Amino acid sequence: MNIGIIGAGHIGGALTRRLSALGHNVFVANSRGPESLAGLAQETGATPVSVQEAARKGDIVIVTIPEKNIPKLPRDLFDGVSDDVIVIDTGNYYPQQRDGRIDGIEEGTTESRWVSQQLGRPVVKTFNNIYADHLLRKGQPAGTPGRIALPVAGDDSEAKATVIKLLDGLGFDGVDAGTIDESWRQQPGTPVYAADFDADGVRQALSQATQERKPEWRAAKADTTRV
Ligand SMILES: NC(=O)c1ccc[n+]([C@@H]2O[C@H](COP(=O)([O-])OP(=O)(O)OC[C@H]3O[C@@H](n4cnc5c(N)ncnc54)[C@H](OP(=O)(O)O)[C@@H]3O)[C@@H](O)[C@H]2O)c1
């Protein structure tokens, strides 16, 4: 497949490495421009591109940048991009450590619904609950006992099925985690977050999640930063 990746940090870098090694055509972008990605390109064979090109080159486009920077992406990023193109959101909201306050999320919108609103596109939420290093190193063949499973939330069943196939190629089971409005079940602080469960464990953890946002995952009261 052709895969655009916006963000070349921990997760974007791991996905560039793994997806390129699997034979996908990877087009990767960051905020500093393609020249700054020469090393990653040389290592992996991926093509460094602008953010706009990454959104236009992929059958799948993975957005993997800090939540607070989502609104800084070009407003017209997906203008003219076919509706068939699947956009994956790997993001997590870290108000106290990184992102400052995002009002929509604090008011109860799921993190990925908020991202989808900013991008003006439906998204599929996955890769958000696994450490980048585990994504890079812990994939295993299908059928391996204890194979790590990742929740996949989204409003389009076909798009989720395509993403679950992509995960399988990377060495992970995919578990349908419901719609984007239900994707609070896999956000930071939930039982499935960073837990590396297998498919049964992921299903159980998703069912045990509670919707209330815990204080450690809320913006500090004094935080006046606004995104
Ligand atoms: N780290 C993990 O283990 C992990 C696990 C699961 C999910 N996540 C989530 O996935 C997202 C990415 O995390 P990360 O740890 O990979 O981040 P990271 O290591 O800090 O890398 C961020 C990447 O995003 C790029 N970027 C930032 N702003 C941008 C913009 N406006 N336009 C284009 N590119 C931009 C940066 O490019 P420059 O360097 O050029 O600025 C960098 O390549 C976050 O929401 C995070 O919470 C992380």
- Indicate whether residue 32 lines ligand 1 (CB < 6 A): yes
pLDDT higher than threshold 70 for residue 169: yes
Query: What distance in angstroms lies between residue 13's CA and the mean position of ligand 1's atoms?
Result: 9
Indicate which residue's Cα is closest to atom 47 of ligand 1: 92
Query: What distance in angstroms lies between residue 15's CA and the mean position of ligand 1's atoms?
Result: 12
Q: Tell me if 84 sits within 8 A of 58, measured CB to CB.
A: no
Reported as a single tens digit per residue, the pLDDT across 174-210 is 999 999 999 999 999 999 999 999 999 999 999 999 9
Token pair 């093509």: residue:
47
Half-sphere exposure (CA, 13 Å, Cβ side) for 130?
31
Indicate which residue's Cα is closest to atom 5 of ligand 1: 131
Reported as a single tens digit per residue, the pLDDT across 74-96 is 999 999 999 999 999 999 999 99
Q: How far apart are CA 144 and CA 48, in angstroms?
A: 34
- Indicate whether residue 190 lines ligand 1 (CB < 6 A): no
Query: By C-alpha distance, which of 94, 156, 166 is closest to 121?
Result: 156
Q: How far apart are CA 106 and CA 42, in angstroms?
A: 41
**Please, which pLDDT band fits residue 220 given cuts at 50, 70 and 90?**
confident
Indicate which residue's Cα is closest to atom 41 of ligand 1: 31
- Indicate whether residue 4 lines ligand 1 (CB < 6 A): no
CA 91 to ligand 1: nearest atom: 45
The backbone torsions φ and ψ at residue 188, rounded to the nearest 5 degrees and listed phi first, read -50, 140
**β-pair partners for 175:** 151
Token pair 């993997």: residue:
64
